[in-house]
Amino acid sequence: EKPAAPIEKGLPGPGLLAQVAVSKYGDHLPLNRMESIFQRHGVELSRKTMCDWMAACAELVSPVWERMKEVVLTSKAVQTDDTPVPVLDRERIRTRTRPDLDLCGRSQPSLHRLRLHGQS
């Protein structure tokens, strides 16, 4: 029996979803660049489709995100890194700084790490 698809009624398997997610969030590769890379390899995959996939993946991992957030925010100590992250601003020619906030909290026995985007 075939395992359930990560996205209900979706075509991508877990490997392709992982590739797009790691490229986007781990390697900071924009979806428009990934779209061009896929096209060079003969694969028609729009950035809209990949964006929809990432939204669906966010829903899938939301329980993990909520638990990590709870662990960090209830930790005795929280470390922040306010290093700015430059990103393209479509309305200007230059890059701008994204209001991200990395939080690390120590909870026994491991260190949990999460990123809060523009949240306080």
Query: 72-95: per-residue pLDDT in tens?
Result: 888 888 777 777 767 777 777 776
Q: Does residue 23 carry a pLDDT above 60? A: yes
What is the residue-averaged pLDDT of the chain? 81
The size of the chain, in residues, is 120
What is the percentage of the chain residues whose pLDDT exceeds 90?
Answer: 45
Q: Output the pLDDT for position 119.
A: 47
The alpha helices in the chain, defined as continuous H runs, are 14-21, 31-40, 47-73
What's the CA gap between 77 and 57, in Å, rounded?
30
Query: Are the C-beta atoms of residues 21 and 57 closer than 8 Å to each other?
Result: yes
Q: Does residue 115 carry a pLDDT above 70? A: no
**pTM more than 0.95:** no
Query: Are the C-beta atoms of residues 115 and 102 closer than 8 Å to each other?
Result: yes
User: What order do you get walking across the sheet with 100-107 strand by strand?
Assistant: 78-81, 100-107, 110-117
Q: Output the pLDDT for position 101.
A: 47
**Torsion from C-alpha of 112, 14, 41, 35, nearest 10 degrees:** -60
